Each structure stands twice: as C-alpha cells, then as structure tokens.
Amino acid sequence: MLEIEWILSFLLLGSVVGVMAGLLGIGGGGIMVPMLTSIFLAQGVPVDKVVHLALGTSMASIIFTSISSMRAHHTNGAVNWTIVKVMGVGVVLGTFLSTFIAAQINALYLAIFFSVFMAYVSIQMFLNKKPQADKGVTGNKELYVVGSGIGAISALVSIGGGSLTVPYLIWKNIDIKKAVGTSAAIGLPISIAGTFGYLVNGWSNTSLDNYTLGFVYVPAVLLISITSFFCAPYGVKLAHYLPVPVLKKVFALLLITLSIKMLITIV
C-alpha cells in the first residue's frame, strides 16, 4: 500500500507542475526529474536506478499534459501539421533510440547531463533570449534530422522538447504562436515514444508489488497527471495578474537550484 506521505507528495508535485505549465508555458520535466529523484531515494530506490526511474516516470506524466496542450493549440489554429508530421517521424525515432542509450548510462552521468542542459535552459529563460529569424525550412530532410536530435535530447532529460523546438521554428521564420503550438503537438510523440522506450529498456526492473513498469512508477504518473491537469487552468489565469517576465527569472533560478540539488544527491 502506498503511504499517504508519498501520495500527498506526488499530488503536490503535480499541482506545481500544472500551475507552472499554465503560468509560464513550460513543460514539467525540469521540476519533476529532480523532485522525483529525491522522493524515490527517500522511498529506498537504489541510486544506480533512481535517475532512470525519475526520467521514465516524468516522461509518462508529460503524455497527459501534452494531449491537453496540443488540443488547445489546435483549436486556436496554432499548429502547423505539415511540420509536425515530418518532424514527428524523426522525433519518435530519436526519442525511442535515445532511451536505449539512457538505460546504459551511469546515473551520475545522466544527472550531470540533465543539470548541464537545465543550466542552458535556465540561462536562456533568465536572459529571455529569442533567436533572430534566419530563413524558412529548407526541406523535409532537415526537419527529420532536427526532429531526431530534439527527440534524442528530450529522452535524456525527459522534456517535451519545447525548449529546443520553439527556438528552432522561430529561427526558421515560423510565427511565434505557430512555433509554440507546433512544438506542443510535437511534444506528444516525444512523450509517448520516450515512455515506451523507458518501459522496454527498464522491463527487467518491473515489479508489480512496487507498482513499477520498466522505468515508470505508475502511482506517481497517475497522481501527478490528475493534479497537473486540473491546476494548469489556474496557472493560465494567474498569468493575467502576475509579472510573468519576473517569474520566469525566478523559475530559471529554481531550475538551476533543483538540478544542482539532484546532482549533489546522486554524488
């Protein structure tokens, strides 16, 4: 039986992820992975498997928020489905294959990669840097290759790819609203392929007694998804009243802090 303290921890984490997604328009991987790592360690998960379990569980939790986000952007006509269809093929391949690599990497090295990438994302967010438009997409081959790369990195850090996809699309002269909406749609195949990959590669760790399928802890996925789904609209409402640019800088510092904490914990 899952103890009440862990149930409350996952519900609270989902609430924070949902509000932040609605308020700042970001995915929850940057918050979920370090927090899940701490929770799983407290539950007694071995150090050599804890980051893998956190990545897989976070990726599975992103599926539900990705569906909600994609539907909202599609309703507003902000998704370029032509780009999604081509990049989606590369994204699925890159994400799935990358989980095989992640499964073989030492937990410490995964934590280091995660922390370095989150530092990059945090700096971009803190400085509010936006890429200058360069030229349009040159062809399907480019979209496929870029999608594969975005998928590979996303699987290693358990994100929906928005921090990479949006800047790339803006650089390719895609309108910012279309870039965000298209990125949200691409986030769904990333999360599905990543979850499947972490299920397959961690299958030897499956334990029905511990509610674990591969590198996915099922209770955490369900509890986080429930509260994040219901709390996201409140984040959207808060965006109209709170100073979002300031909050982005604060959140950037929080991401770096959580990443460093995870790294120290694993070491």
pLDDT tens-digit series, residues 48-68: 999 999 999 999 998 887 887
- Pick from 138-147, 185-194, 212-221, 228-237 the range whose average pLDDT is largest: 212-221
Residue 184 has pLDDT above 90, yes or no: no
The residues spanned by each domain of the chain are: 4-266
For the chain, give the number of residues.
267
Beta bridge partners of 217: 212
Q: To 5 degrees, how large is the angle CA 55–CA 58–CA 63?
A: 130
Global model pTM greater than 0.85: yes
Helices 29-42, 107-127: crossing angle, 10 deg rounding: 140
Which tokens hold the place of 138? 């040159």
* Contact yes or no for 94/151 (Cβ under 8 A): yes
Note the pLDDT of residue 4. 92
Q: Which residue has the higher pLDDT, 34 or 180?
A: 34
* Contact yes or no for 191/160 (Cβ under 8 A): yes
